[in-house]
């Protein structure tokens, strides 16, 4: 288990214990965190699980695979700290991660 904090657009904070091995997207879906749609179910083909990662976490995350940046082109208001939460697999190194959920996914 690792603690992941999801901040929604209206500034509500949800801190959840997510089982290691699940993705940050799955942690949100299973716990009914609003604002993450994950239409394609984790296939890196829809960009509706887009999150902004807190700056101090950026270099601790796994590097983007080919295709993630391409998908982020399609995301709603992508920024430098944008990631697809389906590509972030929860592990001890991500314990305490804070992600911000955009106002919309599309």
Partner 1 sequence: MNKTDVLIIGAGPTGLFCAHQLGIIGLTCEIVDNLDKAGGQCIELYPDKPIYDIPAIPECTGEELTNNLLKQIKPFNVNFHLNQRVEELKKVENRWHVRTNGNKEFDVASIVIAGGVGSFEPRKFPVKECKKFEGNSLFYAVKDKTIFKDKTISIFGGGDSALDWAIELSNTSKVNLIHRRDGFSGAEASVQKVKALSEQGKINLYTKYQLDCVVGENKINSVKIKHDEGEVKEIKSDYVLGFFGLIMQLGPILDWGLNINKKTVEVNTENFETNINGLFAIGDICSYPGKLKLILSGFHEGALAARGCFKYAKPDEKLRFEFTTTSKAAQERLGIKK
Closer residue to partner 1, CB minimum distance, 41 or 62: 41
| Least gap, CB of 59 to partner 1 (angstroms) | 18
Closer residue to partner 1, CB minimum distance, 3 or 44: 44
- Residues 6 or more apart whose CB falls under 8 angstroms from that of 89 comprise 21, 22, 23, 24, 62
Helix or strand (DSSP H, E) at 2: strand 2-7
Question: What distance in Å separates the CA atoms of residue 27 and residue 8, rounded to the nearest whole number?
Answer: 14
- On the CB side of 33, CA atoms within 13 Å amount to 32
Closer residue to partner 1, CB minimum distance, 43 or 96: 43
| Least gap, CB of 93 to partner 1 (angstroms) | 26
The site for partner 1 (CB under 8 A) is made up of 37, 39-41, 43, 45-48, 69-70, 73-74, 76-78, 80, 104-106
């Amino acid at each position: 288990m690792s603690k992941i904090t999801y901040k929604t657009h209206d500034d509500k904070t949800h801190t959840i214990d997510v089982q290691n091995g699940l993705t940050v997207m799955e942690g949100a879906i299973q716990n009914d965190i609003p604002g993450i749609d994950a239409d394609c179910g984790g296939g890196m083909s829809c960009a509706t699980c887009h999150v902004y990662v807190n700056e101090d976490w950026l270099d601790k995350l796994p590097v983007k695979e080919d295709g993630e940046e391409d998908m982020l082109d399609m995301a709603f208001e992508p920024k430098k700290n944008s990631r697809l939460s389906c590509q972030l697999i929860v592990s001890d190194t991500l314990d305490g991660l804070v992600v911000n959920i955009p106002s919309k996914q599309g």
